[in-house]
Chain A
């Protein structure tokens, strides 16, 4: 595993390469965010007691998309979705053509990510204000989260990678613990009947399932900083999706078994209620939901900050700025305003759903589109004994 660590502070112009564990951490921690709290409900609404299967299928779809992105990255080393788009859609003679055609790509992702950041921050604020800090104004919770995310965004990608790497175990372990501990109140019969599978219901739930994995499209930005020709990196990306898949499936199973799908539909934040019903025997603390929420803050933070970073990085690249810091400062008030815009929680969910549609279509469609064109134009294929073009 080669990682470039410079002993002196000179020439930092070489772009930072992510290690495989960093790739995995980035993807996993971005995906695990707000979805943890709402996924059981959104999936169970449509797919009833087989919701967890929808989650699995959604995960596999995301895996397929990730694989596609990896393939694209293999053809265009060191280029992220924007620069790869420029290469694919442009020609060597006329660089501007590529830039023009690739602009819509960047634009869509930009919009989507801006909506996501604001939406996630707002959802976070809502949960906190509902369940934990009841009297704190929403503005403060949302604003603080955006501000801390902003702090991280002012640094380079290297720092983002490290922060995610450190926070990952803090996020995963408690969530897994909760999922497993909650089995103590689970009544597994509620998961049945399994077969014959009500495929229609499952498919209705798959969309909600895929929405839970939002965040993997961060790959499209990072793919410029990875050594995609190495198998470990590609495997790490797959792991990055597999882990949330496992976590989400467990949580949905736990939720369904503990409450039954009818009750689950009624709960605003099912995972939170799940935590509320869990008892950890012998622990000094009784209700662990506040502790769980504290840990969940880290999960939401990584999601918010990573996507915020992606926005700023993308804009920086688009406009050719020196550093994405400047974009971040400008975006902060815009994001805050956007986050505070929905009037109530239910409106927020509607908007998030719209944004998720955009996101899913773009992360499915754009890499596919680029890959197909690249294949047609035979770009980036390895020639015999030569360098990829």
Chain B
């Protein structure tokens, strides 16, 4: 008998729920406005407002959609719409008022921030993004040279939805270890972590091309500087322990126009702190193994001494680059972007003082970078 009662309870509950509810969260997939990219600018009218732009794909125009095959792609496949407001949420609200369906951020892949806005400080922007559960931590924040809107408007034509070109660009190049993989989550962590200076990728939209243009260095939440691609190379090797992509050096100092190009394959980084008098010293040893992919020198590579010479030349070049980067970081930017402090705190917590790190110890840090390059292969050519 109790079973029957229980069964009836359940059925009653079902009926009540089905009849009385509004299926609150249910929203058909075609009734959502999926934003694939957001762009944040300062308002052009110079009234202190923030301009929020969104790139929205139009389902019908995207190919492969049932019997109404569009296949147009590109500019016609997306709609770009903007609105302004005092804060990000305010701007989003205004944007919503102009759209027929509810905004959905679940598929937002890229958040583009204009350089001006970055220099003013993106703390308030990030705060609103953090509280929205729909925004994923895996999306890519980028700083855009000029207006962020240009990024949304650019159409490289290789993808139906233009911004996916950028996401693939960032994703694949990060996989190739040429670009650092900076996701929103990583940026949040870096911001909170007192031992690291946050960085963000810079993209420039030149018409229909999207170009990666280095890293933006942040102090707290304001952008204070930029690392060019060459510097990012060392950044990748020292901090991220990624190989960084091809590097070319002159084969011989007497012939600076003839280059030999190395493609690194494996990299092993070791860092070690020591105390030296009143300041700290850091030894970095990086070992790179790679292949030669191009040479203009004409030196036969089958001879061991040639290989050793080239290895040394490359090592020197890299060492210079790295030391230049570090010097710049220490003197010009005062930002420990390379996460030395994290390592210090982890290994020698007694030497680390969060209050004085940036002003005193970091600039005085004596860094010595040592590269060891090993050329393993020379490609398909024997010489």
Contacts and interface: CB of A to CB of B under 8 A. Distances in A.
A185 B187 CA distance: 13
Contacts of A140: 17, 21, 24
Given A260-B193, A263-B192, A130 B347 contact: no
Interface in A268-319: 273, 276-277, 279, 287
A189 B189 contact: no
Interface in B137-163: 137-138
B136 A134 contact: no
B193 A192 contact: no
B25 A193 contact: no
Interface stretch (B307-315, B338-346, B367-375): B338-346
A135 B25 contact: yes
B24 A136 contact: yes
Nearest to A144: B17
Contacts of B192: 259-260, 262-263, 266
A223 B106 CA distance: 48
Contact of B138 (A130, A190, A193, A276): A276
B136 A154 contact: no
Given A260-B189, A262-B193, A325 B2 contact: yes
A136 B192 CA distance: 33
A287 B136 contact: yes
A283 B347 CA distance: 38
Contacts, number: 71
Interface string A82-95: 00000000000000
Q: Of B2, B136, B346, which is in contact with the most chain A CB atoms at under 10 Å from its CB? A: B346
A271 to B, nearest CB: 13
B13 A137 contact: no
Contacts of B10: 151
B138 A259 contact: no
A263 B188 contact: yes
B133 A130 contact: yes
Nearest to A133: B25
A264 to B, nearest CB: 9
Contacts of B303: none
A111 B157 CA distance: 66
Contacts of A262: 192-194
Nearest to A140: B21
A263 B189 contact: yes
Nearest to A196: B349
Interface string A228-272: 000000000000000000000000000000111011001000000
B90 interface: no
A199 B40 CA distance: 46
B347 A192 contact: yes
B355 interface: no
A133 B24 CA distance: 8
B6 interface: yes
A154 B2 CA distance: 9
A277 B345 contact: no
A192 B195 CA distance: 13
B347 A277 contact: no
B185 interface: yes
Contacts of B188: 259, 263
Interface string A127-142: 0001111111100100
A351 interface: no
Contacts of A187: 342
A187 B345 CA distance: 14
Interface string B1-41: 01000100110010001000100110000000000000000
Given A136-B24, A263-B192, A273-B137, A151 B6 contact: yes
A190 B342 contact: yes
B309 to A, nearest CB: 36
Contacts of A16: none
A140 B10 CA distance: 15
A147 interface: yes
Contacts of A325: 2
A266 B189 CA distance: 10
Nearest to A269: B133
B133 to A, nearest CB: 5
B133 A277 contact: no
Contact of A185 (B2, B185, B194): B185
B89 to A, nearest CB: 15
Contact of A135 (B24, B133, B343): B24
Contacts of B25: 132-136
Interface in A134-176: 134-137, 140, 144, 147, 151, 154
A187 B190 CA distance: 12
Nearest to B349: A193
A260 B194 CA distance: 10
Contact of B346 (A134, A189, A273): A189
Contact of B189 (A133, A135, A259, A279): A259
A137 B24 contact: yes
Interface in B313-359: 342-343, 345-347, 349
Contacts of A259: 185, 188-189, 192
Contacts of A151: 6, 9-10
A263 B188 CA distance: 7
Given A151-B10, A277-B185, A287-B136, A193 B346 contact: yes
Interface in A90-142: 130-137, 140
Contacts of A185: 185-186
A312 to B, nearest CB: 15
B342 A131 contact: no
Contacts of B347: 192-193
B2 A277 contact: no
What are the nearest 7 A-B pairs in CB distance? A192-B346, A263-B192, A135-B24, A262-B192, A193-B349, A133-B25, A136-B24
Given A133-B24, A273-B137, 10 more contacts: A135-B25, A136-B24, A189-B342, A260-B189, A262-B192, A263-B192, A263-B193, A277-B137, A279-B138, A287-B106
Interface of B: 2, 6, 9-10, 13, 17, 21, 24-25, 106, 133, 136-138, 183, 185-186, 188-189, 191-194, 342-343, 345-347, 349
18 contacts: A133-B24, A136-B24, A151-B6, A151-B10, A154-B6, A187-B342, A190-B342, A191-B346, A192-B346, A192-B347, A193-B345, A258-B189, A260-B192, A263-B191, A266-B192, A276-B137, A276-B185, A287-B136
